[in-house]
Amino acid sequence: MFRHLNILVTLSLALFITTSHASKLQTDNIQTASVSTFVTDLDANKTLFQKNADIVMPIASLTKVMMAMVVLDAKLPLDEAISFNKIDKERIYDGYSRIRMGSTLSRGNALHIALMSSENLATAALARQYPGGYEAFIKAMNTKAKALGMTDTVFVDSSGLNPNNVSTAADITKMIKAAYQYPKIKKYSTTPVHTAYFKKPRYKLGYTNTNALVRGQKWDVELSKTGYLDIAGHCLAMITHVEGKQLLIVTLDAYGKLTPIGDAGRIKKWLQSGKSGNVSESAMHYQKQKLSTLVH
């Protein structure tokens, strides 16, 4: 009798703990400072939290994840040298780059620094030296997006510097799920630091990862991409492990540089304790202001 009672107590306790933990994950108890958020438990293939996930907005350098998939889909030699020239500079709107005009770098290294450190010139060079050229590359990006079911996504350049590269947090989630199937994207995007060796002339440049969680190596991050434009705010997409769950986190349009990292911390806290804590009044004001321009 006592044995049966012990079993009953144990089962009841287990059920209580499971129910208690499940009850913690109430979406009313999570706040994020980013305008749009989408959190997925990849193991369970379940959406844990979403906020404004279907609003179309600029995605800045998150574009580079699609760029990388198109490069790798073409199966071009990653050890082949590609060049950097004036037209590449024009295609990043004459933005700053430390890469010298006329120099060369392997395609694999160009992809590496584009993903980990958001090197814009590398994306333009990679796109130009694609079968059919730059326009064919952009067309391939949009074709890939459609194939992945990204119905609210449009790409107009390879870098994300053009604000007309738009998507939603829900669509970006689809893109990151697809990118996770590419070992090179996982590896290149989560390298904390990397040195690229150029030729013609011979020189080297050091690069660091744009995601502080990757640089600090305090989180187990398996895929990462950040983005920023004035009009797009700070963006983050990553796959990481929290509380035994493999999470895909997408945050779009945050005012502060560290806000996406703060949102990742709030999501982690929510999973651990059931409550994320509050975001600042200024962040709430920023969201309200941005939503008024995005939602018509």
Active site residues: 61, 64, 118
Residue 118 near residue 214, CB atoms below 8 Å: no
Q: What residues are paired with 58 via a beta bridge? A: 166
Grouping H, G, I as helix, E, B as strand and the rest as coil, residue 89 is helix
Closest CA relative to residue 204, chosen from 105, 92, 121: 105
Q: What are phi and psi of 247, to 5 degrees?
A: -105, 145
Contacts by 104-107 with C-beta closer than 8 Å and gap 24+?
A: 104/198, 104/199, 104/200, 105/81, 105/196, 105/197, 105/198, 105/199, 106/78, 106/79, 106/80, 106/81, 106/82, 107/71, 107/76, 107/77, 107/78, 107/79, 107/80, 107/81, 107/82
Residue 286 vs residues 57, 87, 188, 260, 268: alpha-carbon distances, Å: 15, 37, 33, 14, 23
Q: Where are the alpha helices (DSSP H) in 25-168?
A: 63-73, 86-91, 107-117, 120-128, 134-147
Grouping H, G, I as helix, E, B as strand and the rest as coil, residue 174 is helix
Q: Is 47 exposed, middle or buried (0-12, 13-18, 19+ CB in 10 A)?
A: middle
Residue 25 CB contacts under 8 Å (≥ 6 apart), including other chains? 48, 270, 271, 274
